[in-house]
Amino acid sequence: MFKRVKLTKRRWNNVLIIAISVFMLLMAAPNLIKQYLLEQKVAPKTLTGYVLDPNAQPIEINYAGIQFYFDDDTWHAIPEKWTPEAANVIQRWQQIHGTPVDEATYAKLQPALESPMTVEVWYQEKEEPQRITAYSLKKFWLLNTYDENWVAVSFEASSLIPTEDN
């Protein structure tokens, strides 16, 4: 009825390959089931409204020809005339919290968006900087946030962008 099959070297290799493949499939099965077969509950995207990442520590902010950088537990600036204001300016940047702007509102505002300003923020634990695009409109500023959303923020430009008369 059953014929005895002699396992040659080649057949043993095939048996081992199949056994290892089955073992790997069994080990990966729980993750595969979770990933592809079970419905995942996706948390709704919450808009924080913060421009800078509240979970990261900035170490350098560059914009408007000014470089603010953190060194020896103190904020400094280049050109150096802004150094006395550096800590206050950085604190204001960290506190910027705006009203989220949805896609429809952004589309309506887009024709009025001219001459953007780019703000580059370097964080301690991140390799790439956050690049913030800022548009100054008549009644507010439009800024993109660390989580790639747009927020409308009302503030006096001189509180974040030092000028000669500050």
Query: Per residue in 30-40, pLDDT tens?
Result: 888 888 887 76
pLDDT at 166 over 50: no
Q: Is 145 exposed, middle or buried (0-12, 13-18, 19+ CB in 10 A)?
A: buried
Query: Per residue in 113-143, pLDDT tens?
Result: 888 889 999 998 888 999 999 898 888 889 9
- Kindly report whether the global pTM for this prediction surpasses the value 0.85: no
How far is residue 47 CA from its own chain's centroid? 13
Residue 13 has what pLDDT?
94
Residue 54 has what pLDDT?
87
Query: Per residue in 43-87, pLDDT tens?
Result: 555 556 788 888 889 999 998 888 999 998 899 998 888 788 888
